[in-house]
Amino acid sequence: MGKGVLKGVCVLALFGWACTAQAADPATIARGKYLVTIMSCTDCHTPGYFLGKPDFTRSLGGSEVGFELPELGVFYGPNLTPDKETGLGAWTDEQIATAITTGVVPSGRELAPIMPWRAFGNLTKQDAAAIVAYLRSLPSVSNKIPGPFGPQEKPTSFVMKVVPP
């Protein structure tokens, strides 16, 4: 892996995640890639995926197709690459691990219910750290996604509607 790639060594401390940065080892990054793959993160976070033409040159760079959730609005899978402007590059390892496992982003906002963070809350500390290491190892993709849009706002891109029975 390239120089400067970091892995998060995270432990769940009494009041939240505590993380330190170390040089990432290839086995940890490989574990993170495996987890991201079986967790199907690319489905919601890769451009073109929901249009039948995934652009894997921009893997995990954010989706242009949103999910409309009744009474909540429209939410787009954000850019998970290390891009500082449009991705996770300005987030700490701890903030990424917290978002994945608790659904809370640095601003304090809870992620939309379409993100299965409740299931991901069962990840081990080592697996969460491996996912962070893998995301840090990705090439940066500059891709500002649309939204989110409130229930009364008009989305500017494709939308998949989630309709209750």
Q: Domain limits of the chain?
A: 6-161
Strand locations in the chain (E): 6-13, 16-23, 65-69, 73-76, 158-161
According to DSSP, the residues that pair with 73 across neighbouring strands are: 69
The answer to whether 9 touches 18, Cβ cutoff 8 Å, is: no
| This prediction's pTM | 0.83
For the segment 112-151, what is each residue's pLDDT rounded down to a tens digit?
989 999 999 999 999 999 999 999 999 999 999 998 999 9
Peptide bond into 26 cis (omega under 30): no
